Structure 1
Amino acid sequence: MHDTLIRYNQLGTIFDHLALGVVILSKDRKILSINRAAEMLTGREASAVVGKYCYNEFLNYLCGGKCKFLEVGEMGEETVCSEIDISDHTVGPRSITKIESPIFDAGNEFVGCIEVFQDHTAFEKLLQRVKFDDRRLKMILNNLDIGVLTVDRAGHVTFFNTMAEAITAYPRAEVLGKPCTTIFPINFCKDVFELKQSVEDVYAPKRLTTDVVTRDGRRIPIEATCMGLRNEEGRVVGGLTTISDLSLKHQLHQVTRERYTFYDMVGRDPAMQNLFDIVPVIAASEATILIEGPTGTGKDLVAKIIHNASGRADKPLVKVNCAAMPDNLLESEMFGYAKGAFTGAERDKPGRFELANHGTIFLDEIGDLPLSLQGKLLRVLEDREFYPLGSRKTTRVDVRIISASNQGLKRLVSEKRFREDLFFRLNVMQLELPALKERRGDIPLLISYILKKLCNTRETRVRNISEEAMGVLLNYEYPGNVRELENILEHALIICQGETIDRKHLPVSLLNNRTYYAGGDEAVTDAARPYRVDGDADEKERIRTELNRCGWNRGKTAASLGMNRTTLWRKMKKYAITG
Structure 2
Amino acid sequence: MKKIKENKTYFAADGIIAINKEQKIIVFDDTACRITGYNSNETLSKNISFLLPNENERLEYIDRSLSSGEMFSNISFTINSANTEKLIITASITPLVQPNQGIIGLIIVFRDRYETYSLQKALAAKKDEVIQEKNKFEIIFNSLLEGTLTVNSEWEITSFNKAAEQITGFNENEALNRKYWEILRSEDVKQESQLKSFITAHHSNLLRETNIIRRDGVSVSVRINSAPLLSTEGVKIGRVVTFEDISIVKNLTAHITERYHFKNIIGHSKSMLKVYNLMQNVVNTDSTILITGQSGTGKEVIARSIHLNSERKSTPFVAVNCSAFAETLLESELFGHEKGAFTGAIRTKPGRFELAANGTLFIDEIGDIPMSIQVKLLRVLENRQFERVGGTESIELKARVISATHRDLEKEISEGRFREDLYYRINVINIHLPPLQERQDDIPSLINHFIDKFNKKFKKDIHYISPNALQLVNSYEWPGNIRELENVIEHAFVVCNSDAIRTEHLPERLQKIVSKPNSLIAEETVEKPLENAEKNLLINMIKKYDGNRNKIATALGVSKPTLWRKMKKFDLL
Question: What whole-Å deviation, never above 9, does each CA across 1:148-193 have from its counterpart, x for those lacking one?
Answer: xxxxxxxxxxxxxxxxxxxxxxxxxxxxxxxxxxxxxxxxxxxxxx
Aligned residue type for 2:146: K
Name the counterpart of 1:503: 501
Aligned equivalents of 2:480 and 2:450: distance in 1?
15
Structure 1: give runs of 5+ residues left out of the alignment. Answer: 1-23, 87-93, 103-110, 118-247, 516-523, 560-564, 567-578
Helix, strand or coil: the match of 2:272?
A: helix
Relative distance call for 1:350 and 1:114 in structure 2 (3 A) is same
Aligned residue type for 1:435: P
Mapping of 1:171-186 within 5 angstroms? none
Relative distance call for 1:252 and 1:380 in structure 2 (3 A) is closer
Name the counterpart of 2:136: none
Q: CA deviation at 1:355?
A: 2.1
Q: CA deviation at 1:391?
A: 2.7
Aligned equivalents of 1:289 and 1:459: distance in 2?
37
Aligned residue type for 1:525: I
Structure 2: give runs of 5+ residues left out of the alignment. Answer: 1-142, 149-160, 225-241, 546-554, 557-571
Aligned equivalents of 1:100 and 1:555: distance in 2?
46
Name the counterpart of 2:145: 26
Q: Tell me the TM-score normalised to structure 2 length.
A: 0.50
Relative distance call for 1:356 and 1:527 in structure 2 (3 A) is same
Helix, strand or coil: the match of 1:310?
A: coil
Name the counterpart of 2:518: 530
Relative distance call for 1:514 and 1:533 in structure 2 (3 A) is closer
Aligned residue type for 1:27: E
Q: Tell me the TM-score normalised to structure 1 length.
A: 0.50
Mapping of 1:303-342 within 5 angstroms? 303-342=303-342
Aligned equivalents of 2:346 and 2:499: distance in 1?
56
Find out whether 1:293 has 2:263 as its counterpart.
no
Aligned equivalents of 1:249 and 1:263: distance in 2?
21
Range with greater deviation from structure 2 (307-316 or 408-417): 307-316
Aligned equivalents of 1:445 and 1:55: distance in 2?
58
Q: CA deviation at 1:283?
A: 1.3
Contact persistence 2:365–2:406 (CA under 8 A): yes
Aligned equivalents of 2:434 and 2:303: distance in 1?
15
Question: What whole-Å deviation, never above 9, does each CA across 1:509-565 have from its counterpart, x for those lacking one?
Answer: x331107xxxxxxxx93443437999x9xxx9xxx9xx9xx9x95568999xxxxx9
Relative distance call for 1:355 and 1:466 in structure 2 (3 A) is closer
Contact persistence 1:25–1:114 (CA under 8 A): no
Aligned equivalents of 2:399 and 2:416: distance in 1?
28
Q: CA deviation at 1:441?
A: 0.5
Aligned residue type for 2:432: E
Aligned equivalents of 1:449 and 1:374: distance in 2?
38
Mapping of 1:127-166 within 5 angstroms? none
Relative distance call for 1:254 and 1:33 in structure 2 (3 A) is farther
Helix, strand or coil: the match of 2:218?
A: strand
Relative distance call for 1:259 and 1:513 in structure 2 (3 A) is closer
Name the counterpart of 1:396: 396
Name the counterpart of 1:362: 362
Question: What whole-Å deviation, never above 9, does each CA across 1:73-93 have from its counterpart, x for those lacking one?
Answer: 98667x8667x596xxxxxxx
Aligned residue type for 1:514: L
Aligned equivalents of 2:507 and 2:211: distance in 1?
48
Contact persistence 2:462–2:500 (CA under 8 A): no
Query: Which has the larger Rg?
Result: 2
Aligned residue type for 2:508: N
Relative distance call for 1:492 and 1:530 in structure 2 (3 A) is closer
Contact persistence 1:287–1:429 (CA under 8 A): yes
Question: What whole-Å deviation, never above 9, does each CA across 1:89-109 have from its counterpart, x for those lacking one?
Answer: xxxxx763545589xxxxxxx
Relative distance call for 1:301 and 1:251 in structure 2 (3 A) is farther
Contact persistence 1:478–1:484 (CA under 8 A): yes
Relative distance call for 1:365 and 1:53 in structure 2 (3 A) is farther
Contact persistence 2:185–2:214 (CA under 8 A): no
Find out whether 1:513 has 2:517 as its counterpart.
no
**RMSD of aligned Cα (Å):** 5.2
Aligned residue type for 2:296: G
Relative distance call for 1:531 and 1:33 in structure 2 (3 A) is farther
Mapping of 1:66-81 within 5 angstroms? none
Name the counterpart of 2:21: none
Greater share of helix: 2
Helix, strand or coil: the match of 2:439?
A: helix
Aligned sequence identity (%): 34
Aligned equivalents of 1:249 and 1:463: distance in 2?
32
Name the counterpart of 1:464: 463
Relative distance call for 1:507 and 1:406 in structure 2 (3 A) is farther
Name the counterpart of 2:421: 421
Relative distance call for 1:512 and 1:300 in structure 2 (3 A) is same
Q: CA deviation at 1:335?
A: 1.4
Helix, strand or coil: the match of 1:513?
A: helix
Question: What whole-Å deviation, never above 9, does each CA across 1:14-43 have from its counterpart, x for those lacking one?
Answer: xxxxxxxxxx981355657999xx9xx979
Question: What whole-Å deviation, never above 9, does each CA across 1:288-317 have from its counterpart, x for those lacking one?
Answer: 100001111111011111122223333222
Q: CA deviation at 1:274?
A: 1.3
Name the counterpart of 1:96: 218
Q: CA deviation at 1:453?
A: 4.9
Helix, strand or coil: the match of 2:276?
A: helix
Aligned equivalents of 2:165 and 2:264: distance in 1?
31
Name the counterpart of 1:208: none
